[in-house]
């Protein structure tokens, strides 16, 4: 773990040198990575310039989005055809010739939790319960500071009586997911296998900004023999412990980095 990895943009030549002759396979988070964090999920839009870069990259190397957003929501927000999309932290995957869902049998548990959360949080101003097919996000960004502990207590109370679900955290949110050994890291490894990208000619690269993205960084940083199989890049505005080996400052810098990577790939 490191507190502040070197900038993949400022040290772009060193970054590309680490790729060697391998072709990148890009796995991109959405919120906080290519779209700036917003008060409400629907307001977090990706700039047209970033979308154009993603579109360009998709013709040069494999590109997938791996997000906590619901799959249909993620697909609509990115709005680039032909990509692989993994929603709900990888529980719901779709792409050309690919369809996989993990934890379908847990949907009724999420239905019950969703109802209980809305009952418990209905009186707390600003608390937002966002239901996804395979997860429930409880957003606290618009909740008064004094009220945030009440939100946390309510979420814990709900999950305590539903052992088939587990609680995770993130930037100003809690999330309930199926209590399964599945996360963004396992989803990325599954996608590498499903897409035939496990060979030595491919370098998986994951860009993300939050706690749940650390699962992907760790998955790419180590394997049985102790050597990494890919590269993690964390979008971060200050020092934080991370398993990523490179960093970028914010979504604008992430888009600039991807644009430079597209230029480098196009030059052959």
Taken in order 59, 30, 180, 162, is the CA torsion positive or negative?
negative
**169 pLDDT above the threshold of 90:** no
From 156, 178, 200, give the residue that closes a domain. Answer: 178
Q: Give Cα 167 distance to the centre of its chain.
A: 16
Q: How many CA atoms lie within 13 A of 57 on its CB side?
A: 28
pLDDT score for 225? 42
Strands 202-208 and 231-235: parallel
Q: Would 1 be classed as within a structural domain?
A: no
Cα three-residue angle 167-170-173, rounded to 5 degrees: 75
Query: For 130-154, what is each residue's pLDDT tens digit?
Result: 999 999 999 999 999 999 999 999 9
Q: Would 70 be classed as within a structural domain?
A: yes
- Three-class secondary structure of residue 235 per DSSP: strand
Query: For 217-247, what is each residue's pLDDT tens digit?
Result: 999 987 544 467 899 999 998 888 999 999 9
CATH of the domain at 88: 3.40.50.1000
For the chain, how many residues are written?
A: 268
From 178, 205, 224, give the residue that closes a domain. Answer: 178
Q: Which of 8-12, 37-41, 151-155, 193-197 has the lowest mean pLDDT?
A: 37-41
Query: For 28-40, what is each residue's pLDDT tens digit?
Result: 999 999 999 988 8
Q: Which residues are catalytic?
A: 29
Q: Would 186 be classed as within a structural domain?
A: yes
pLDDT score for 226? 46
Q: How many CA atoms lie within 13 A of 66 on its CB side?
A: 32
Q: What are phi and psi of 231, to 5 degrees?
A: -125, 135
Q: What letter does residue 5 receive in the DSSP assignment?
A: P
pLDDT score for 3? 79
CB 91 within 8 Å of CB 103? yes
CB 208 within 8 Å of CB 217? yes
CA distance 73 to 141: 20
Same domain, 94 and 190: yes
From 178, 197, 220, give the residue that closes a domain. Answer: 178
**162 pLDDT above the threshold of 90:** yes
Q: With left for phi above 0 and alpha for psi between -120 and 50, is residue 213 left, alpha or beta?
A: alpha
Same domain, 54 and 129: no
**250 pLDDT above the threshold of 90:** yes
Same domain, 187 and 84: yes
Query: For 71-111, what is each residue's pLDDT tens digit?
Result: 999 999 999 999 999 999 999 999 999 999 999 999 999 99
CA distance 38 to 142: 10
Q: Would 93 be classed as within a structural domain?
A: yes
Cα dihedral 68, 69, 72, 75 in deg (nearest 10): -90
Same domain, 121 and 249: no
Cα dihedral 129, 131, 134, 140 in deg (nearest 10): -20
Outline where 122-250 has alpha helix (H): 148-160, 184-194, 213-221
CA distance 96 to 85: 10
Same domain, 95 and 33: yes
Helices 107-121, 148-160: inter-axial angle, 10-degree rounding:
140
Same domain, 26 and 98: yes
The structural domain count of the chain equals 2
Q: Would 13 be classed as within a structural domain?
A: no
**Structural domain that includes position 243:** 22-102+182-266
DSSP E strand stretches across 20-140: 23-28, 63-66, 84-87, 92-95, 98-101, 128-131, 136-139
Instruction: Using pLDDT thresholds of 50, 70 and 90, give the confidence band for residue 171.
Output: confident
């Amino acid at each position: 773990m490191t507190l502040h990895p070197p900038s993949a943009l400022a040290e772009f030549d060193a970054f590309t040198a680490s790729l060697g002759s391998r072709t990148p396979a890009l796995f991109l988070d959405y919120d906080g990575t290519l779209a700036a964090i917003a008060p409400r999920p629907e307001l977090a839009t990706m700039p047209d310039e970033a979308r154009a870069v993603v579109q360009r990259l998709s013709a040069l190397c494999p590109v997938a989005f791996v997000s906590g957003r619901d799959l249909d929501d993620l697909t609509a927000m990115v709005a680039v055809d032909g990509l692989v999309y993994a929603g709900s932290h990888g529980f719901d995957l779709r792409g050309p010739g690919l369809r996989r869902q993990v934890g379908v049998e847990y949907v009724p548990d999420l239905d019950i939790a969703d109802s209980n959360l809305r009952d418990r949080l209905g009186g707390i101003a600003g608390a937002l319960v966002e239901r996804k097919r395979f997860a429930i996000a409880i957003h606290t960004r618009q909740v008064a500071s004094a009220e945030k502990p009440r939100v946390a207590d309510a979420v814990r109370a709900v999950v305590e009586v539903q052992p088939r679900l587990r609680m995770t955290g993130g930037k100003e949110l809690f999330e309930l997911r199926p209590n399964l050994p599945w996360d963004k890291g396992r989803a990325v490894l599954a996608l590498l296998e499903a897409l035939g990208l496990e060979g030595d000619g491919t370098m998986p690269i994951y860009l993300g900004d939050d706690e749940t993205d650390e699962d992907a960084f760790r998955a790419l940083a180590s394997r049985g023999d102790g050597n990494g199989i890919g590269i993690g890049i964390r979008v971060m505005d200050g020092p934080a412990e991370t398993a990523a080996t490179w960093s970028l400052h914010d979504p604008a810098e992430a888009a600039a980095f991807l644009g430079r990577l597209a230029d480098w790939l196009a030059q052959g």
